[in-house]
Structure 1
Amino acid sequence: MALTVLSIKNAQPQAKAYKLSDERSLFLLVMPNGAKYWRLRYRFLGKQKTLALGVWPEVGLAEVREKRDAARKLVAEGRDPGAEKKLRKIRAQFDASTSFKAVAEEWITKITREGRAGVTLDKVQWLLGKAYPLIGDRPVNQIEALEVLAVLRKLEATGRYESARRMRSVISRVLRYGIATGRAQRDVAADLRGAIVVPKTKHYAAITSPKQVGELLRDIEDFSGYGITKFALRMTPHVFVRPGELRKAEWAEFDFERAVWSIPADKMKMRWPHQVPLSSQVLELLDKVRPLTGHSPYVFPACHSWKRPMSENTITLALRRMGYGQEQMTAHGFRAMAATLLNEMGIWNPDAIERQLAHMENNGVRRAYARGQYWDERVRMMQHWSDYLDLLRSGGQVLSVEFGQRRRI
């Protein structure tokens, strides 16, 4: 006989639990303490099983019958409703405990182990710190595109367009990591490409006129500041590495017999080892600075401690002291100077120039191939470049371009 709402309400507790049967194997289990639980008997793969469908009155009679029918349909399809329920519960618990912040912090741990640069990690953590107040506690698989857009708009409103662009990229990478680890279904941040202001590309200020380069080199020769800083200034145009790579240069990285500076991957922006052919001019500079800093692991140690490299602002401050404003020349600008003038010469393979600038290919096979393919040309190019800088510094007029001859000291 089918149950009614009235019969359920009138069911009184007894000394022992008892059952009130409904239709199609559904029954109500009345406990001695008065609690009333919905249960469904079913057979699956020859075994008798019982499925919990809720508690009266939270789950009413009409609702529990719908659950019963849904469970029986699963059995008819060859699926165990009890196993399905456990899976849903596990998934719900997993989703509830997997917040965007938790996934992001796990992803940060991963990229840290992969050896990402400290400055990159700091930037990523700063950006995510801006996102956490809005989406940090949200289950990563429930985050919607509009929520991410709200995060980006908040940063965009401050005028930090580049930071907002990077924020979208970082959130996207976190969500893709969530997908890879089974905690998210979609990268909703990918849908927001084009939704925020595109920042104007800003280039590092650089002097690229041969005449002005000559003037800069003469100003460097006349620099009256700290001696070690002057050596770093003199070396910078010849090797045109990134400022951080120069200031952290260590004596152990230089092979004077082969005339090569080997920069390890952990010091490079792209986390790939880089080699710089050393011209005779650079070898001569190093030969002069070694008696001054050879007791330190660093070629250019800090002013007050030989155990640390020089400050990241040293070269920039020296340029300012020489009268070069931030719109004229920067420490990073020596790279643009070299790239511009070497390309204008028209005698060097552009790929060789890119290799020397440590602009890496994404394809590992092509990267390794290109690195070997252009080495000899890079060796000739770096010597020629130093010869060319000497000519500009002396005030000579460049009428033609010829390969420089490599000299050894």
Structure 2
Amino acid sequence: MLTNAAAKAAQPLSRAHKLYDSGGLFLLVTPAGTKSWRLKYRRAGREQLKTLGRFPDVNLAQARTLRDQAKQDLARGVDQLEQLRSFADIARAWHAHNLARWSPVHADDVIAGLERDVFPAIGAMPIGDIRPSELLQLIRRVEARGCRATASRLRQRLSAVFGFAIAQDLVAADPAAQLGRAMTGTGLVQPHPALIDIAECRALLHACEFARANLHVRLASRFLALTAVRLDAVRGMRWGEIEWSCMDTGRPAWRVPPARMKLARAKKGEARFAHLVPLSAPALAVLVAAAEIQGQRDGMSIDPEHLVFAARGGAAPIGRGSIGALIARAGYQGRHVPHGWRSSFSTILNDDLGPDFRAAIDRALAHSPKDKVEAAYNRSGMIDQRTAIFNRWGELLAG
């Protein structure tokens, strides 16, 4: 059993910890040094928790009296103990609430960050007991790792959790709302390394042709450059996604399924959010070469479910890091990455084609209009301009 002296002497650790008394009563000590009395009890077969007050405002004798009063109420069938929800409980409920609109990758990133940087410190605490200083401590630990952008995202997520709790009358205020005033800040965003001179882009493609790599990797690298899509779209590309006579363009095009696009999860299952990429002559040449590797000379006769760019054995996509490794072996490490082709595409074509094509270039990169009203009502895909854009990009890269 505890004593007041032991409660006073209890020191904070890196994680919240408990000092048990008796009858379900314990003292919770957080990493910030906050000490609160908690009562654990069962109702209808389920474990319940309640905060009885903070130490030393409530001493041990008073906490035991509150415990006994609560148990007497329970014995009479009067449950005046409102269920205490810990921060981790609420955060997981908030996470589950948002799963339908998040991509699986983003959802995994959110919960992993909370489990790594938040739950060990405050996850067991009652959400209503958490103070701004306790949140600032865990934010500063993330900043101390040099992860300032991660710390900023974490603050936003903490605030979202408290907003979720406010909407359910579980807390009255958001202690994360003003943390930004005491944070280091994210600093300058470091863009992906990318070549923005067309002659250097051509030189990179030429160097990749002769660098050591599987032929499928070299073809995928060239196709990625010519289409300026995201890496996973190319890695998972299947022959059935190619429309050799696309009804939208009248020419060959690649309809990238929404499941492999960077979209909210709710949009990934709707075909209308597919991204159409008109195929230039150089891009078609890459597909012909890929078809010949698979023993076909007519792209339309290949099994539509087969991968276009497969790893050795043909059953799996090329590795996520294979194109990046190819670029590095070609002598461009630190100067260009696979995602950098999107910056190359936008920068060079905006300069080459001028402001009249700016909106179409953004649509060619599958960027949604920033104006939400326009996004809702303007269904134009600018397909004619986008076809001209990809043809021009193919010409520029081919030299």
TM-score (norm 2): 0.69
Aligned residues: 302
Amino acid at match of 1:333: G
The amino acid that maps onto 1:147 is: E
Q: Are 2:357 and 1:336 aligned?
A: no
Partners of 2:133 and 2:96 lie apart in 1 by: 27
State the shift of 1:217 in Å.
2.1
1:137-216 map, 5 Å: 137-199=124-186, 200-216=188-204
- In the TM superposition, residue 335 of structure 1 has moved relative to its aligned partner by 0.8
Q: How far apart are residue 369 of structure 1 and its match?
A: 4.3
Q: Secondary structure at the match of 2:317?
A: coil
Alpha-carbon distance in structure 1 between the residues aligned to 2:150 and 2:382: 36
Is 1:119 aligned to residue 110 of structure 2?
A: no
Q: Please, which of 201, 209, 224 is the counterpart of residue 236 of structure 1?
A: 224
The CA deviation at 1:388 is: 1.6
TM-score by length of 1: 0.67
Is the contact made by 2:226 and 2:283 (CA closer than 8 Å) also made in structure 1? yes
Q: Which residue of 1 aligns with 2:234?
A: 246
Residue 92 of structure 2 is aligned with which of 105, 113, 129?
105
Report the counterpart of residue 318 of structure 1 in structure 2.
326
1:38 maps to none
SS in 2 for 1:249: coil
In the alignment, the residues of structure 2 paired with residue 364 and residue 264 of structure 1 have an alpha-carbon distance, to the nearest angstrom, of 23
Q: Tell me, in whole angstroms, the C-alpha distance in 2 between the residues paired with 1:238 and 1:178.
A: 47
Q: Which residue of 299, 308, 326 maps to 2:308?
A: 299
Tell me, yes or no, if the aligned pair for 1:172 and 1:187 is still in contact at 8 Å: yes
1:262 aligns to 2:255 (yes or no): yes
TM-align CA RMSD: 2.6
Amino acid aligned to 1:148 = L
Q: Which runs of 4+ in 1 moved over 4 A?
A: 293-296, 362-365, 368-371
Q: Deviations over 1:68-119 (max 9, x none)?
A: xxxxxxxxxxxxxxxxxx99x76x624x1x22111221222233233x2332
CA distance in 2, matches of 1:184, 1:172: 12
**Partners of 2:383 and 2:170 in 1: CA distance:** 46
* 1:355 and 1:371 in contact (8 A); partners too: no
Residue 351 of structure 1 is matched in structure 2 by 359
User: Take 2:166 and 2:278, find their aligned partners in 1: how far apart are those partners?
Assistant: 44
Structure 1 residues 310 and 370, CA, compared in 2 at 3 Å: closer, same or farther? farther
- Shift of the 244–373 alpha-carbon distance from structure 1 to 2, 3 Å rule, reads closer
Name which one, 1 or 2, has greater alpha-carbon Rg.
1
Question: Is this contact kept in 2: 1:229–1:300, CA < 8 A?
Answer: yes
Query: Aligned equivalents of 2:256 and 2:172: distance in 1?
Result: 41
**Kindly tell me: are residues 186 and 350 of structure 1, through their superposed partners in 2, closer, same or farther at Cα, counting changes over 3 Å?**
farther
Query: Which secondary structure does the structure 2 equivalent of 1:241 belong to?
Result: coil
Q: Is the 8 A contact 1:117 1:266 kept in 2?
A: no
Report the 3-state secondary structure (helix = DSSP H, G, I; strand = E; otherwise coil) of the residue aligned with 1:262.
Answer: strand
1:303–1:118 Cα change, 3 Å: farther
Q: Which residue of 1 aligns with 2:82?
A: 93
1:383 corresponds to 2:391: yes
Amino acid at match of 1:297: H
Query: Following the alignment from structure 1 to structure 2, what is the Cα–Cα distance between the partners of residues 172 and 264?
Result: 34
**Corresponding residue of 2:17:** none
Q: Which moved more, 1:128-137 or 1:177-186?
A: 177-186
Q: Which runs of 5+ in 2 are unaligned?
A: 1-63, 67-76, 247-251, 268-272, 295-301
Matched-pair identity in %: 27
CA distance in 2, matches of 1:370, 1:108: 32
The one-letter code sitting in structure 2 at the alignment partner of 1:228 is H
**Counterpart code for 2:349:** L
SS of match in other structure, 1:113: helix
The AA in structure 2 aligned to 1:312 is R
